[in-house]
Chain A
Amino acid sequence: MEFRHKDLLGIADLEPEEISLILDTAASFKEISTRPIKKVPTLRGKTVVTLFYEPSTRTRMSFEIAAKRLSADTLNLTVSASSAVKGETLADTAHNLEAMAPDVLVIRHAASGAPHYLAQRLRCGVINAGDGLHEHPTQALLDLLTVREAKSRLDGLKVAIIGDIAHSRVARSNIYAFTKMGSRVTVAGPATMLPPYLETLGAQVTTSLVEAVRDADVIMMLRLQLERMGQMFLSTLREYSQFFGLAPKHLKLAKEDVIIMHPGPLNRGVEISPEVADGPHSLILEQVTNGVAVRMAVLYFLIGGEKG
């Protein structure tokens, strides 16, 4: 099996074998993070540019650490909303980037499809670090790795994804990722946050958290973006947490060894109670560690460096 893509734009574009290949490679890279000197020369002389149009210190740092552990040079560009408003278009940015001759560009943008736009115009590989409501493929890959480590398998698992599915690129990427790997995905949330046609992505859909978590092997809670409150999606935060917040009582409905995940950052007491977030079933911190390993693997495949 080879990885033959120039870019990583979405999980929808990947074959299950390619996903397994990335996970296997990520697992082997994870060992590097336990060494006293956490660095291998695999990507020496290569340049990774991160271009973030939305603030996200966590994801950007995760990519930067991944690149540095592989000895790549990194250059971080944060574009404030204001300078984008001043008229520099994505096309201008693409031309300027081309002049820097990066090997890989990591982009986060509020517009769905912005990474595709750059991928069509740039010679270098493009990694989608989250585009609008579309996809966040490295998040889904790190979630897969986390679940595979905990359960030693992905096929046949029941995965519940709960919250604002409509506005979540993490949910879309994870629905693709888990169904491709043989898990059964159930999504749940208030109907205002469940876009029509979700079943066409292969997910089961319910408005009941209780139904979604019953017999679940994995429960993934999504962050509720608090600005949704003013947009007619919800009544009150109190009611949301009552019906769609994960509490200890819900864990009894799930499999005994259920694992709890969250892409972060958490709204404790809203979509997840502190007891659950910090309890024994939670793998939230493990997700962060696996983020670096998965991004190392993706950089490795896209730049095509020699394995050190």
Chain B
Amino acid sequence: MSLLIKGGLVVDPSQHLEDPLDLLVERGKIVALEPPGRIPAEGRRVISASDLVVTPGLVDMHVHLREPGEEYKETIESGTRAAIQGGFTGVACMPNTKPVNDNAAVTRLILDQAKAAGHARVYPVGAVSVGSLGQALSEYGDLKAAGVVAVTDDGRPVSNSMLMRRALEYARTFDLPVISHCEDLDLAADGVMHEGAVSLQLGLKGIPAAAEEVMVYRDLTLARLTGARLHIAHVSTAGSVAIIRLAKAMGLPVTAETAPHYFTLTEEAVLGYNTHAKVNPPLRTEMDVKSIKEAIRDGTLDAVACDHAPHSSLEKEVEFTAAAFGLIGLETSLSLTLKLVHDGALNLSQAIGALSTNPAGILGMPGGTLKAGAPADITLIDLNREWTVDASAFASKSRNCPFNGWTLKGKAVMTIVGGEVVWEEEG
């Protein structure tokens, strides 16, 4: 079966394209990209993309799917359904499941479940250390053979600097990037939000920006020492941006991501003890937000990844200090990034680069491009569609979304994985 996607504006940062083009898909692969009208429609399923943007399938390189172990919050099925509804054809899932994805058996289980669900592609990320306990290295060679694309101890950051050094070296052996959740646990202590004027006002213990920045600096200097590929997860502060910018200028093999909440919300979202705004790293200040936006624009931050972290009402409908950290983002991430485009902070190519081409490149995935021969993972976006976020209608099993009720402009309307239309906006 061949598909002809006709009449759209193709935006593909991997080929520096932002042109009206028709796209031909055959046997799950992209076959041709031609000026409008050149490819005959006969005998093909034609998808009209007039007034739509056609992009390489979006990739979120940092999500928590909760399976195995916490299926009441999310399953691989529900999480990947949320992904395709948000326009994502691929997601990289973090290893902090129960059990931790620190061995090939867990990796295979995740891949089997993803295949059975048949929504988005799933790229498991393995654990840096056995059980993410920060003591012994897990089997990176085996994990890679089973399908992991990176290693991380996200959620239980590596405190021991020697272990981090060894992890970087061992990961380099197997050409795996190490994704670092940068948090000095002693400095963060029992903080529950950003340390600043609002934490003072609310009487909540703060997590200073320095808790992130000292670890960003540590990991960058270890990347220099080891020559390994380092990826900094969920950058939230202006200070981290400055250090990463410097490291890139020095030519270190480092990449970094941020999440939509870090360029959309500030510490003030916590006012009223709003547990949906409790997230780690915490929401920072206006100055940080400004710096994060600038860093996506100038490429200091390569990727936008939402750190989709589902929690049920059991974890969120409690007093603020007792609530779990994290919020869900797969179904709002694209729209919040497009807001930056509508506001003039990014151009479309920069936005799609951060949501597709760059993360696919960092993790060595086959997608992120519409070049002939690439897998036909494609997202169709209506830039001007206005919609109101209704968390109760999400495909995700969880509802911990601080954007509920917001009206956003721009939305995925069709998601194609391997040449199959896996999701399409109704009406």
A111, A134, A172, A196 — most chain B CB neighbours (10 Å): A111
Q: Determine the chain B residues whose CB is within 8 A of the CB of A198 once the complex forms.
A: 200
Q: Across the two chains, which residue of chain B brings its CB closest to A199?
A: B197
Q: Determine the chain A residues whose CB is within 8 A of the CB of B203 once the complex forms.
A: 112-113, 131-135, 169, 172
| Number of B interface residues in the complex (CB < 8 A) | 19
Q: Determine the chain B residues whose CB is within 8 A of the CB of A91 once the complex forms.
A: 317-318
B195, B199, B202 — most chain A CB neighbours (10 Å): B202
User: Cβ of B202 and Cβ of A195 under 8 Å apart?
Assistant: no
Q: Determine the chain A residues whose CB is within 8 A of the CB of B319 once the complex forms.
A: 90, 109, 111, 113-114, 117
User: Cβ of A195 and Cβ of B320 under 8 Å apart?
Assistant: no
Tell which of A111, A113, A116, A195 touches B200, judged by Cβ atoms closer than 8 Å.
A195
CB distance from A282 to the nearest CB of B (A): 28
Assembly CA distance A293 to B205 (angstroms):
33
Assembly CA distance A2 to B186 (angstroms):
48
CB distance from A107 to the nearest CB of B (A): 11
* B residues lining the A interface (CB < 8 Å): 195-197, 199-206, 272-273, 317-322
B201, B204, B319, B322 — most chain A CB neighbours (10 Å): B319
User: Cβ of B201 and Cβ of A111 under 8 Å apart?
Assistant: no
CB distance from B265 to the nearest CB of A (A): 18
* A residues lining the B interface (CB < 8 Å): 12, 89-91, 109, 111-114, 116-117, 131-135, 169, 172, 195-198, 200-201
Assembly CA distance A135 to B319 (angstroms):
15
Tell which of B206, B272, B322 touches A111, judged by Cβ atoms closer than 8 Å.
B322
User: Cβ of A196 and Cβ of B322 under 8 Å apart?
Assistant: no
Assembly CA distance A196 to B203 (angstroms):
12
CB distance from B266 to the nearest CB of A (A): 14
Extra inter-chain contacts (6) besides given A90-B322, A112-B320, A132-B204, CB under 8 Å: A111-B320, A131-B203, A135-B203, A195-B206, A197-B197, A200-B197
User: Cβ of A111 and Cβ of B196 under 8 Å apart?
Assistant: no
Tell which of A109, A113, A200, A201 touches B204, judged by Cβ atoms closer than 8 Å.
A113
Assembly CA distance A131 to B203 (angstroms):
8
User: Cβ of A200 and Cβ of B200 under 8 Å apart?
Assistant: yes
Assembly CA distance A89 to B323 (angstroms):
12
User: Cβ of A201 and Cβ of B201 under 8 Å apart?
Assistant: yes
Q: Across the two chains, which residue of chain A brings its CB closest to B186?
A: A232
CB distance from A113 to the nearest CB of B (A): 4
User: Cβ of B318 and Cβ of A133 under 8 Å apart?
Assistant: no
User: Cβ of B320 and Cβ of A89 under 8 Å apart?
Assistant: no
Q: Determine the chain A residues whose CB is within 8 A of the CB of B321 once the complex forms.
A: 111-113, 132
Q: Across the two chains, which residue of chain A brings its CB closest to B192?
A: A112
Assembly CA distance A89 to B273 (angstroms):
17
Assembly CA distance A91 to B273 (angstroms):
15
Assembly CA distance A185 to B272 (angstroms):
26
User: Cβ of B195 and Cβ of A196 under 8 Å apart?
Assistant: yes
Q: Determine the chain B residues whose CB is within 8 A of the CB of A201 once the complex forms.
A: 200-201
Q: Determine the chain B residues whose CB is within 8 A of the CB of A134 once the complex forms.
A: 202-204
Q: Which 10 A-B pairs have the closest CB atoms?
A: A134-B203, A113-B273, A133-B203, A112-B203, A111-B321, A197-B197, A111-B319, A200-B197, A113-B320, A114-B319
Assembly CA distance A111 to B321 (angstroms):
6
23 contacts between A and B (CB under 8 A): A90-B318, A90-B322, A91-B317, A91-B318, A109-B319, A111-B321, A111-B322, A113-B202, A113-B319, A114-B319, A116-B272, A117-B273, A117-B318, A117-B319, A132-B321, A133-B204, A133-B205, A134-B202, A134-B203, A172-B203, A195-B199, A200-B201, A201-B201
Q: Across the two chains, which residue of chain A brings its CB closest to B205?
A: A133
Q: Determine the chain A residues whose CB is within 8 A of the CB of B199 once the complex forms.
A: 195
Q: Across the two chains, which residue of chain A brings its CB closest to B196?
A: A197
Q: Determine the chain A residues whose CB is within 8 A of the CB of B205 once the complex forms.
A: 133
Q: Determine the chain B residues whose CB is within 8 A of the CB of A89 once the complex forms.
A: 318
Q: Determine the chain A residues whose CB is within 8 A of the CB of B197 once the complex forms.
A: 197, 200
